[in-house]
Amino acid sequence: MTSASATAQPAELAANGLPLDPGVHLIEASAGTGKTFTLAHLVLRLVGERQLSLRSLLVVTFTNAAAAELRDRIGRRLQQAQLLLQAPDPAGHEGLDQELREWLAQVPAEGQERLRAQLLLALEELGSADITTIHGFCHRSLQRQALEAGLTPELELENDGALLQEQVVHDYWQQQVLPLPAHALKGLIGRGVRISALKTLLAMLEGDPTLASPELPEGWDPESPLPPQWLSQWEADWRRFQALWDQRGEALEQALCAAASERKQAGIKSKGSYSAKPRLKRAQQLGTWLQAQPCPGSYAELLEDRTSWIPDYFHPGPVSEAAAALEGPRPRLPERPLLEAAAALVDGAAESVLSHFCHWGRAELARRRQRGGRMSYGDLLLGLDPGDDGTLRPGLIEAISQRYGAALIDEFQDTDPLQWRILHQAFAAPRARPRQLLVLVGDPKQAIYRFRGGDLDTYRTASRSAAANHRLTRNFRSSPALLDAINRLLSPGLPRSALSVSPLRAARPSGCEALILPAGEHPLQLLWLGGDRSAGEPPPQPRRNGKARE
């Protein structure tokens, strides 16, 4: 079977219509289209048609609660088929769906006894079946293949990761930040380097092991103490800025005045403090301020003393914002080396601390967990990570591949690149088991929600690797009138994500309860959350120094 192209339209899917051939199949399923029902029915078909035991099936969903519900639905599906085989009279089984009747009707009489035995065995194995979350799958795999993973079978998961993170943050603050000079500490706090910020940053890195720590300044070592490295960097940046300012400071001010004059001639209102003929001689004031400072100067005074003018005037941030009114989002910077030196003083001094903390904090968390014999949820994923080229942990991935005959992945839109590497290498790569089936069920519209871990590029990558793409188009929750309105609203698709949105139809268009609305109201109602701003009007700019930025 040839691989589907990225632009191919998914085929409409019925529960009995998905081919069980080896390979990757992607099922697009919007909310209310019966994906849990479809997954349960696929498990039944794999047991009956492929003769797979439930122990050789992997079913993954997003949360523990969803896994428990899916286990229950699979159990009920197996039991429904078992009961219908024992007493095939339709009158004795109310509520059985047409898909199950059609599927059982295809079972020849000589095969029914074998199917009953398979279903009984599957029901016995249901309690120990791998119907779990992605982290649960990783945990079980690392326990079973502890030898290949280089771990002990008694793998202990961390119960309170937040407490350990807080301890690491406080230790870093006391051991690394507080020993800095008072001017540095005051300046860093003024730029947002606080305990609360470090906690948020470390929690973000812990929540997504695919995130890379910010790059350290050249020559920095995360295992070396912060104070000497910061002070050395601060002095180097200070001397660099001072030298460049002595050479090009006056030229920078002239260039800023010339740019303001150009905007004025173009009829563009001046942004911030920039004007063609400023009343204040800022370059002169900054030069006087620099002469009064020791070398290196005070970080706190640089940020707080208005006569320094570096953070608010001679800085690429406000310069770019003013220039963008005429030149667009990527304006040219006058005297770029000097402006970059200013940014290194204002922003680099704080960013270097945050970068050092990210590297040190991650390493320290790993050390403390190793000493305690514990793993975090992120460590579970990293423990199975085969690497971009699949060469890491080949024995571990091979053992997982041999264990399962098929894998069904629910809520696939919430899969990140690391999780997809694991699933792809274990179930879809050339080295995977020859007769494996990998079914991915997800909603690409929800893959835009990065806060849940979803990654649209990952979804598209998986779609390109699929042998066939399918979609569930019958909605079992909403009325025909509401679905018709939603179809019209979403017919242009999602342009920013370049996603098309498939129309849905009501599963029971006739005979369902009518949607009763007050007079003049429609099934789909839109609520404007833009305040007094009209639709299409740009949002207001953030405030700075208590004044709205124009």
Asked if residue 329 has a cis previous peptide bond (ω within 30° of 0), the answer is no
On the question of pLDDT at 87 being above 80, the answer is no
What type of residue is 483? L
Model confidence pLDDT, tens digit, residues 450-462: 544 557 888 888 9
pLDDT at residue 13, as a whole number = 83
How does the average pLDDT of the chain come out, rounded?
Answer: 87
pLDDT at residue 480, as a whole number = 87
What type of residue is 390? G
C-beta separation of 345 from 302 below 8 A: yes
Helix (H, G, I), strand (E, B), or coil: what is residue 475? strand
Whole-number percent of the chain with pLDDT over 90: 59
Model confidence pLDDT, tens digit, residues 441-452: 999 888 656 544
d(CA 35, CA 535): 35
C-beta separation of 89 from 438 below 8 A: no
pLDDT at residue 329, as a whole number = 85
d(CA 289, CA 282): 10
Model confidence pLDDT, tens digit, residues 480-530: 888 999 999 999 988 878 888 889 998 876 655 666 778 878 888 887 777
C-beta separation of 400 from 141 below 8 A: yes
Give the C-alpha distances (Å, rounded to integers) separating 376 from 159, 190, 203, 397. 8, 33, 12, 20
Who has greater pLDDT, 3 or 180?
180
d(CA 432, CA 418): 18
pLDDT at residue 2, as a whole number = 38
Residue 545 confidence class, pLDDT cut points 50, 70, 90: very low
Give the burial class of 404: count Cβ atoms within 10 A of its Cβ; 0-12 exposed, 13-18 middle, 19 or more buried.
Answer: buried
Whole-number percent of the chain with pLDDT over 70: 89
Model confidence pLDDT, tens digit, residues 345-404: 999 999 999 999 999 999 999 999 988 888 998 999 999 999 888 788 888 998 999 999
Residue 546 confidence class, pLDDT cut points 50, 70, 90: very low
pLDDT at residue 537, as a whole number = 67
Sole residue written with tokens 């009920």: 76
Residue 5 confidence class, pLDDT cut points 50, 70, 90: very low
pLDDT at residue 20, as a whole number = 92
Put simply, whether the predicted model's pTM sits higher than 0.85 gets the answer no
Give the pLDDT mean for 291-313.
94
Model confidence pLDDT, tens digit, residues 285-300: 999 999 999 999 999 9
pLDDT at residue 3, as a whole number = 39
